[in-house]
Structure 1
């Protein structure tokens, strides 16, 4: 079996594993909403139309416009990894170890990162509804979900296509209540998808693979202030130790030479509701195979994995279809 045949056989398997495992794959666009572009770009279908006007018996129908345009956006990120199986570890057949390796890689590395990046990207979109709240009880959860549903109802967001991404811990609070109130609120979402808290952040940091891999919840970053005097509304910090900063309660002219918080830490997301037509995601996966005889760096079967991601594009005319609730810490 040659290199091209291997790639052709295994790529659909990877796509299937991704579709089954990724919590956010439900937002992926199809051929009616997404088209591949060139030079790291992707085309997204955007539908817009005018509202009603008066019918005139002489001139007839109002002459509004309906437009279906293809908006060109750039993919958010290209990610990759070099997967290897030693010639002697492989055994007699390549299929079984590669299937296990690739499936485990997607399930434990690619899918969690993709979900986390998409949720963070959508949560950071301008003009969506954002609510900061700490939810500890089932009663508090029902109040929070009712507020979300009410907001979408008032904004005329279709109930039949609202997707609720929520942490397993929180949805279990509603399940434990098992009351008429809890059941009725949950009915106002068409699909409820539990997503682990480790994928539910308002912001993540993607590591470049030089010193560390994967992703993590974004931490606060500090840089030395360039202000020559205290600025209203700014908080200044002193560095207590590595990674530990303390806010200055009453900054003076000399203390502004200390640190400022330049990147805010991410918050834990309680739940994210997305109406299906309000946002679109996409991911292309690629693999290459090299035999041990072709491996220039060792004696392994080499599978080079790469993906190109549109983590999330929220249409500017559909921001009412996105609602996020996150903690205050």
Structure 2
């Protein structure tokens, strides 16, 4: 197989691994709400419509507007890395090593960073509902989640697609209670997704790869207890690319080289759906 054919085979493997490992992949927009563009841009769908007016016996219906527009936004970041495997006897045997390598790369690096960046961007959006609080008991967690759902109910946020991202520690507190109250409050969410605290901060820094790789909590970042997102309030997108070079083409060694790159729109929060996001976080550490 030539380099283009190999790259075509490996890219779906990367996409599959990403969807399996990233906790926030549920927020990815499909073609109905996100269209990939060029020059580091992506188009996201935005729907606006007028409210009701009086029907008039003479003039008839009020003349409101329902407008679907495609808003062009820039990807937040372009990230990359070289993946290398020592020369093998034949290219046909490369599938398993690359599957293992890509799986570990996604699990250890791409998924955690993407989750952390998405959650931080959503949590840092102006105008969403936020509360600073320390939750150290199961009862406190129940109360905080109830305040979240009550707030969204009062703001008339759609109930069917409220996704709860919550730390394992807090979810464990609820599980330990094994009570009607804890089960009832969790049933208010369409999905409950457990996310490690290491990916749950209000702000992170992405390292540039010159002295450090990956990401870290920003100095002003605050630990997030939980983040509730109504799915239609946010759209995220990631586009991945991989180039393959054989050992004979490797000018820096004698390896199979996979050059990995991604474009990431970590999150685009619709300004008319800010009520669909609620963030509970601790004080700064």
Deviation of 1:96 after TM superposition, in Å, equals: 1.4
* Unaligned stretches of 5+ residues in structure 1: 220-264
Deviations 1:54-103 (A, max 9, x none): 11111111100000000111000000001111115989721111111111
Partner of 1:162: 162
Deviations 1:196-250 (A, max 9, x none): 001001111100000010001112xxxxxxxxxxxxxxxxxxxxxxxxxxxxxxx
Residue 218 of structure 1 pairs with residue 207 of structure 2: no
How far apart, in 1, do the equivalents of 2:270 and 2:149 lie?
A: 20
Counterparts in 2 of 1:130 and 1:5: CA distance versus 1, 3 Å: same
Native 8 Å contact 2:17 2:102 kept in 1: no
Native 8 Å contact 2:88 2:94 kept in 1: no
Partner of 1:37: 37
Match for 1:273 among 215, 218, 228? 228
Q: CA RMSD in A?
A: 1.3
Q: Return the TM-score normalized by structure 2.
A: 0.97
Counterparts in 2 of 1:89 and 1:144: CA distance versus 1, 3 Å: farther
Partner of 1:57: 57
How far apart, in 2, do the equivalents of 1:91 and 1:63 lie?
A: 64
The runs of 4+ residues in structure 1 deviating greater than 3 Å are 88-92
Counterparts in 2 of 1:36 and 1:92: CA distance versus 1, 3 Å: closer
Deviations 1:15-38 (A, max 9, x none): 011111111010000000000122
Native 8 Å contact 1:90 1:97 kept in 2: no
Q: Return the TM-score normalized by structure 1.
A: 0.84
Deviations 1:79-129 (A, max 9, x none): 000111111598972111111111110111100000000000000101001
SS of the counterpart of 1:285? strand
Native 8 Å contact 1:271 1:325 kept in 2: yes
How far apart, in 2, do the equivalents of 1:146 and 1:206 lie?
A: 34
Partner of 1:5: 5
How far apart, in 2, do the equivalents of 1:93 and 1:139 lie?
A: 54
How far apart, in 2, do the equivalents of 1:182 and 1:99 lie?
A: 40
How far apart, in 2, do the equivalents of 1:131 and 1:43 lie?
A: 32
Deviations 1:242-277 (A, max 9, x none): xxxxxxxxxxxxxxxxxxxxxxx2110000000010
Counterparts in 2 of 1:273 and 1:89: CA distance versus 1, 3 Å: farther
Partner of 2:143: 143
Q: How many correspondences in the alignment?
A: 284
How far apart, in 1, do the equivalents of 2:152 and 2:35 lie?
A: 29
Residue 127 of structure 1 pairs with residue 127 of structure 2: yes
SS of the counterpart of 1:297? coil
Partner of 1:177: 177
